[in-house]
Structures are given as structure tokens and as C-alpha cells.
Amino acid sequence: MQQLFEQIGNYHRLSPEAAEAVSLGFERITLPKNECLVTEGKVCRHLYFLEKGALRGYYQEDGKEITHWFGFENDFVTSFHSFITGQPSVENIQLLEGSILWGIAKERLNELLNQYHEIERLVRIAYEKYYIRLEERFVNAHFKTATDRYEDLLEHAPHIVERVPLGYIASYLGISPETLSRVRGRL
């Protein structure tokens, strides 16, 4: 839980009472590799902090699994679309390694948001940072060849290549596994 508060401290410092309230809201979750944290078709009502491990978010399209994001230590993860809208999730979140997470129910989080302006600020700042991270990722993929995308990945997120199967990486980059293999062969 200390790691969670370190990460929270990167966004916005909380008063002791707010920090205490936050700590009471989270529960520790341990899951093995391949287990799913979120499954499509169900409403996602929890937000998670990933203390240790790795995971991927994927959805089905034309009978294929499309991986579109990964999460690693210190990330806040959830099926954001479902969490925010309250609609059933179209994506699944699957553990790529045995992992330790801390989860908080949306209901509980809403209570904290109601009670503490500073927690509302914390969450707003977190959304700002997640928004621009997503925007950066989008811009970095726009108009890029397969080679560009893989090279960008190696430069900005080499840990992904070390921890994630290449098939999922190809999917994440929006290219076929064969193409990724050929790109790797040329580097």
C-alpha cells in the first residue's frame, strides 16, 4: 500500500485524514498469470492500482483478440469506458504475470470524492495525466510504419518487449505477428 501512496503523492499530496480514508477504501488483490481482472459483458465497478505484475487490455474483433494497452507497476488500471459510463465492458483485462493489485469500488470512491475536495483534485489530476499519455501514444502511432512503431516502442518502453509475448506486442502496435517478426529481423 506504501507504493500506492507514493504514486498518489506524485499526483497530489493528501492530508493525513484523506490519506487514511483512501487507505481504508482499497483492498489487496492477488491474482495468478492468465487470470482475468475484467471480462467483457460485465460492468466494471472497480479501479485498481497495480503494485506488482503486468497485464493487458484486449477486446474481440472478427474472432481475433486485439490487445490495445498494457499496464505495469504503479499504473491505475480499469476498463475506463465501463467504469466511467457504467455500461458493460467491451474489453477484458488479463494478467500477464502473477500480480498484486489494490482495488477500490466505484461506490466507495464516489463517497471519498463527495467528502474530500482534495481527493477530487487528485483524481482530476490523474485523469489529466492519463489523457495526455493516451494522446501522446496516439500521436506517436499516427502515420507510422511498422518499423517506426517498433523502434518507438524500443526507445520509449523497452520493458514491454522484455515482459510481454511478441504476439500481444504486434497486436498492440497494430501490425501482424509476421510483420513484427520481419521488422525485428531487420533491426
Partner DNA sequence: CCGCTTTTTTGACAAATGTCAAGTGTGCCC
Partner DNA sequence: GGGCACACTTGACATTTGTCAAAAAAGCGG
Axis-axis angle for helices 117-141, 16-25 (nearest 10)? 70
Cell numbers 506486442 correspond to 169
Q: Of DNA, its own copies, none, which one does residue 166 interact with (CB within 5 to 8 Å by kind)?
A: DNA
Here the contacts of 85-91 (C-beta below 8 Å, separation 24 or greater) are 86/43, 87/43, 88/40, 88/41, 88/42, 88/43, 89/38, 89/39, 89/40, 89/41, 89/42, 89/43, 89/44, 90/40, 90/59, 91/38, 91/40, 91/57, 91/58, 91/59
The residue from 61, 155, 162, 178 that contacts its own copies (CB under 8 A) is: 61
Note whether 88 binds its own copies by CB under 8 A: no
Cell numbers 491505475 correspond to 76
- Say how many residues touch its own copies, by CB under 8 A: 30
Note whether 178 binds its own copies by CB under 8 A: no
The residue from 145, 156, 158, 159 that contacts DNA (CB under 7 A) is: 145
Note whether 147 binds DNA by CB under 7 A: yes
Note whether 98 binds DNA by CB under 7 A: no
Q: Where does this chain bind its own copies (CB under 8 A)?
A: 59, 61, 66, 68, 80-81, 84-85, 113, 117, 120-121, 123-124, 127-132, 134-139, 142-143, 171, 174
Q: Where does this chain bind DNA (CB under 7 A)?
A: 143, 145-147, 165-167, 174-185
